[in-house]
Amino acid sequence: MKRTLTLLTVCLLLAAGAACRKDKLEISPEIASSDEQMYNLGDRYIKKDPEKARLYFRQIIDSFPKSFYAQRAKLAIADSYFRKGDEGNMIIAASEYREFISLYPYSPSASYAQLQIALCSFKKALRPGRDQTKTQQALAEFKKLITNFPLSEEAKTGRENIKQCEERLAQHILGIAKHYYRVKAYKASIDRFNEILSNYVEFSMMDQVYFYIGTCNFISELYKEAQPYFTKLVTDYPESKWAEKAQKMIEVIRVELENKQP
């Protein structure tokens, strides 16, 4: 609740600041009649006085909504918030990019706007040991980019970032699974490892996943369930540091299963 109120306060302050500046902005009739001249003015101020630049850009959008410069102005507004980089401005930037797609769904820049929406969350995502809400949000937006704009240049970036998101999420789950393993909650640990196997097939630490699932089953004396995971590890990752241990476990399991035979 506190976080929501903080973000709302940020938005209100930014809006109030823009409103105050609007009263002081004077545009000559000659400039006001030209979307191009207003855009050039906004572009001139965008780095040294972003608030003033946004007023010019918003005037273009209001006065020339179907103009080519209106599209450029809308993106320039969104980009100006994105460049700030803090969480409050990233939220506003994402909202502006979404509005752009809503207003100009067939624009060549719509794919860029969708990529930027995803990056607003991706750039604020936390490392694997912490809350992964932003990573999950970014992943959903990157997938939306691939679905809606599969042939765009931005889709290539989206695919690479999807891999990074999935790697981070898998590492996060791995940490939880290993915690359950350390406290001997083996069933809970196996469930988490299986989540990685089901959802993140390209995870870079899959050899470790196989080893721990096998070990959890072995400790629980579920030898037949453990054996395939150790075998998979030895077969698919022979150079892994876990492979030698897995091979030893396979031999132990073989002996245990032989001893259980009538």
Could you report the average pLDDT of every consecutive run of 10 residues in the chain (262 residues)? 44 44 64 90 95 95 94 98 96 98 96 98 95 97 98 97 98 98 98 97 97 97 96 97 96 89 68
pTM over 0.75: yes
Q: Which pLDDT value is given to residue 261?
A: 72
- Token pair belonging to 92: 């506003």
Q: Which pLDDT value is given to residue 10?
A: 43
Do you know the residue count of the chain? 262
Q: Which pLDDT value is given to residue 158?
A: 98
Q: Which pLDDT value is given to residue 153?
A: 96
Helix (H) or strand (E) holding 142, with range, is: helix 133-148
Q: Which pLDDT value is given to residue 25?
A: 67
Distances (CA, A) of 259 to 139, 254, 256: 49, 9, 5
Q: Which pLDDT value is given to residue 262?
A: 64
Q: What is the Cα–Cα distance from 51 to 59, expressed in whole angstroms?
A: 13
Q: Which pLDDT value is given to residue 259?
A: 83
Q: Which pLDDT value is given to residue 33?
A: 84
H-type alpha helices, the chain: 2-24, 29-32, 35-45, 50-63, 68-84, 87-103, 110-122, 133-148, 153-182, 186-199, 206-219, 223-236, 243-260
- Token pair belonging to 22: 């609007």
Spell out the residues 6+ positions from residue 41 whose beta carbon is closer than 8 angstroms to its own. 31, 53, 56
Sorted by where each starts, the structural domains of the chain and their CATH numbers stand as 1-107 (1.25.40)
